[in-house]
């Protein structure tokens, strides 16, 4: 009977495709919106995650997340270095700067200044060139996605010409030479990310009095991180967090202190409601259209349980196909935007969540649609 | 409940003092008023009477799709009042075949799939069910259309498919509700002849509700109802013509 149930659904082409389309849309939006949100969230902590060697991040106590820069006095670096348990401490600058492209266009960028001697705090992955090339005069490293994207200059005939090693741009009206391209992701605002050395930041942002955004700390082996954090807070008055704490703090800021989570959540919920309603309504209509035949089956000896199982199978099958199509489209979308300016991160949790949503939607629709069948008296088939 | 089998010692259908009403209070409408009826195994009985006289209600009760209020109704040796809902489902599934006025073939299923339904409900595997459905369709002159959809057939052909569906699982009782009302005279005649010939094999019982006086000649017994009771019951005197060669 289950085979016949599926044949009944599949041969009703119009409604069948309508249900599949609505469920595909629902699965797509249920996976795509959280994936973009998660992508943005991962960008919010990308800076922290990309510097694995730093055990602690030291900063102004009022800093709320990784892009929130409240500069410190350079002298604070030496005070932190003096705390017991600290193996090394290096300066790190995080701020914005305006870049002028060779074609005359301006673009706001994120500028990171890393330790001149050790290059700690540099990008996790270099696509072209080496991070040590920053020793070259006026050297900067630009993210590869922006180099061929927003930073690409417009040449004759509206052709986009990507920046590469050897290209130049102006940062605050000062010449900068691109000595490498890194594979790091853009930040939450999808701005280009430029790395240079900490001392060269002072050159590019000479008007700023204080430039020390964070102090990156490596702990001596075997020391208690919590104790060092307490000591830094006690002796310097600065805030210190472990990598995990700072990452969570930055995520929480975007989750709870901005409207991004709410906006994406509402978007996903509305998509679920719209797609789900269309799918449920179409399937309900399909069941109503076949009510007469379900009545015939009931008269011929099909139990209500069997009829519900047939209806549930029809809807679950449509749900599985719709889910597959939807997730397939989202995956394709993810492949297309990979490495670009669109933040996107599809993981098993999101796929599982979308699957659960479609499963619940399918079961709910099957329950709703089977109601008139359950209430149908088999004698109704003799009433014409 | 065990599989339903006929008992030659008793009637296929036995009703005593059968009552059934619809609605409650002042809106209560009696449909059957203490009806008595016996139908034997192997008998083809036709229920006739004006609209609203209770024919379809009686047929629904006998087919175990509607509960009666009071009285006795034994069908194929089972007292319907004593059967649970699940027992009635099983009785219908195993022992009763249905032919409806509007054919009620599932439009998205092929003829073979439609005819397979009673076998599948009884747990027969899909391949065997299709084979047996094909054989039954072949017997009814539709062996070359097993993969056609009902919409591709004429009314007479669709009713033959419905008859195949009603008989494929070998029921002891076949109930038919106005089986010729959607057919022209010639087709209706042919369908009734076929129904009688095929359905009455193996000592099956046929109960047909009809308004069509042209088919009464096929009945072993004509039961005339009026206002919820049986007015008279008699045998048909008309000879049964052979119309097999005129199948629609």
**Confidence at B198, pLDDT banded by 50, 70, 90:** confident
- Which one of B66, B108, B121 has the shortest CB-CB distance to A301? B121
Q: What pLDDT sits at residue A329?
A: 92
Interface check B66 vs A, CB under 8 A: yes
Contact criterion met (CB below 8 Å) for B185 and B217: no
Q: How far apart are CA A381 and CA B8, in angstroms?
A: 30
pLDDT tens digits for range A24-33: 988 888 888 8
Contacts of B120 in chain A (CB under 8 A): 1, 4
pLDDT tens digits for range B5-36: 444 457 888 889 888 888 887 788 888 888 88
B124: Cβ–Cβ under 8 A, 6 or more apart, which residues? B116, B132
* Low-confidence spans in chain A with pLDDT less than 70: 102, 155-158, 186-188, 339-341, 383-384
- Which one of B56, B90, B92 has the shortest CB-CB distance to A299? B92
Domain range summary for chain A, segments of one domain joined by + = 2-44+259-383, 73-237
pLDDT at B239 over 60: no
Q: How far apart are CA B60 and CA A178, in angstroms?
A: 88
Residues of chain B above pLDDT 90, percent:
5
Domain range summary for chain B, segments of one domain joined by + = 13-238
Q: What pLDDT sits at residue B237?
A: 56
**Domain B13-238 of CATH type 3.40.50.11440:** no
Contact criterion met (CB below 8 Å) for B80 and B64: yes
pLDDT at B243 over 60: no
Largest CA distance in chain A: 94
Q: What pLDDT sits at residue A188?
A: 67
Q: How far apart are CA A11 and CA A367, in angstroms?
A: 22
Supply the ipTM of this predicted assembly. 0.82
Closest residue of chain A to B51, computed from CA coordinates? A383
Q: What pLDDT sits at residue A217?
A: 92
Q: What pLDDT sits at residue A158?
A: 67
Q: Do A8 and B66 touch (CB under 8 A)?
A: no
B185: Cβ–Cβ under 8 A, 6 or more apart, which residues? B214
What is the nearest CA distance from A297 to chain B, expressed in angstroms? 8
pLDDT tens digits for range A234-272: 888 898 999 888 988 888 888 888 887 888 888 888 888
Interface check B116 vs A, CB under 8 A: yes
pLDDT at B221 over 90: no
Contacts of B96 in chain A (CB under 8 A): 301
Q: What pLDDT sits at residue A155?
A: 64
Q: At what angle do helices A291-299 and A260-289 cross, to 10 degrees?
A: 60
Residues on chain A bordering chain B, Cβ-to-Cβ distance under 8 angstroms = 1, 3-4, 7-8, 11-12, 290, 292-293, 296-297, 299-303, 306, 377-379, 381-384
Q: Do A300 and B116 touch (CB under 8 A)?
A: no
Closest residue of chain B to A299, computed from CA coordinates? B65
């Amino acid at each position: 009977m289950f085979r016949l149930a599926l044949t009944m659904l599949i041969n009703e082409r119009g409604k069948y495709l309508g249900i599949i389309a609505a469920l595909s849309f629902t699965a797509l939006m249920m996976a795509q919106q959280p994936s973009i949100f998660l992508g943005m969230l991962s960008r919010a902590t990308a800076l922290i995650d990309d510097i694995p060697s730093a055990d602690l991040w030291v900063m102004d106590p009022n800093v709320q997340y990784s892009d929130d820069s409240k500069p410190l006095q350079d002298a604070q670096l030496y005070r932190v270095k003096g705390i017991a348990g600290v193996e090394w401490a290096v300066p790190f600058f995080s701020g914005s700067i305006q870049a002028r492209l060779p074609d005359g266009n301006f673009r706001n960028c994120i500028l990171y200044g890393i330790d001149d001697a050790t290059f700690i705090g540099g990008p996790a992955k270099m696509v072209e060139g080496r991070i040590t090339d920053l020793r070259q005069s006026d050297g900067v490293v630009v993210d590869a996605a922006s180099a061929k994207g927003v930073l690409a200059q417009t040449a004759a005939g509206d052709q986009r010409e990507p920046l590469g090693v050897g290209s130049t741009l102006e940062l605050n009206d000062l010449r900068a030479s691109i000595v490498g391209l890194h594979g790091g992701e853009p930040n939450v605002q999808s701005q280009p990310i430029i790395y240079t050395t900490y001392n060269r930041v002072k050159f590019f942002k000479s008007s700023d009095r204080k430039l020390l955004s964070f102090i990156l700390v490596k702990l001596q082996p075997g020391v208690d991180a919590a104790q060092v954090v307490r000591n830094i807070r006690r002796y310097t008055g600065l805030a210190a967090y472990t990598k995990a704490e700072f990452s969570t703090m930055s995520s929480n800021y975007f989750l709870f202190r901005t409207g991004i989570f709410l906006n994406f959540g509402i978007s996903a919920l509305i998509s679920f409601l719209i797609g789900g309603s269309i799918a449920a309504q179409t399937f309900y209509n399909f069941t109503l259209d076949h009510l007469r035949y379900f009545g015939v089956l009931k008269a011929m000896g099909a139990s209500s349980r069997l009829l519900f199982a047939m209806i549930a199978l029809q809807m679950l099958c449509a749900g599985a196909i719709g889910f597959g199509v939807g997730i397939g489209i989202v995956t394709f979308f993810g492949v297309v935007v990979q490495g670009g300016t669109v933040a996107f991160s599809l993981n098993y949790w999101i796929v599982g969540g979308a699957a659960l949503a479609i499963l619940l939607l399918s079961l709910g629709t099957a329950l709703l649609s089977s109601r008139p069948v359950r209430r149908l008296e088999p004698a109704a088939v003799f009433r014409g | 409940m065990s599989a339903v089998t006929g008992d030659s010692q008793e009637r296929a259908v036995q009703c005593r003092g059968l009552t059934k009403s619809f609605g409650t209070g002042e809106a209560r409408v009696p449909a059957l008023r203490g009806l008595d009826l016996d139908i034997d195994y192997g008998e083809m009985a036709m229920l006739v009477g004006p609209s609203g006289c209770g024919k379809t209600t009686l047929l629904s009760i006998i087919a175990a799709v509607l509960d009666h209020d009071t009285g006795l109704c034994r069908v194929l040796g089972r007292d319907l009042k004593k059967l649970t809902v699940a027992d009635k489902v099983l009785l219908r599934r195993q022992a009763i075949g249905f032919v409806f006025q509007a054919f009620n073939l599932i439009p998205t299923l092929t003829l073979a799939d439609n005819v397979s339904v009673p076998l599948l409900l009884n747990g027969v595997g899909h391949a065997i069910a299709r084979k047996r459905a094909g054989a039954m369709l072949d017997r009814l002159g539709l062996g070359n259309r097993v993969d056609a959809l009902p919409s591709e057939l004429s009314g007479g052909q669709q009713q033959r498919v419905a008859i195949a569906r009603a008989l494929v699982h070998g029921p002891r009782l076949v109930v038919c509700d106005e089986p010729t009302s959607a057919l022209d005279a010639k087709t209706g005649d042919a369908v009734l002849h076929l129904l009688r010939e095929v359905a009455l094999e193996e000592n099956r019982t046929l109960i047909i509700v009809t308004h069509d006086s042209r088919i009464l000649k096929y009945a072993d017994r004509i039961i005339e109802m009026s206002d919820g009771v049986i007015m008279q019951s008699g045998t048909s005197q008309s000879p049964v013509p052979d119309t097999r060669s005129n199948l629609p």
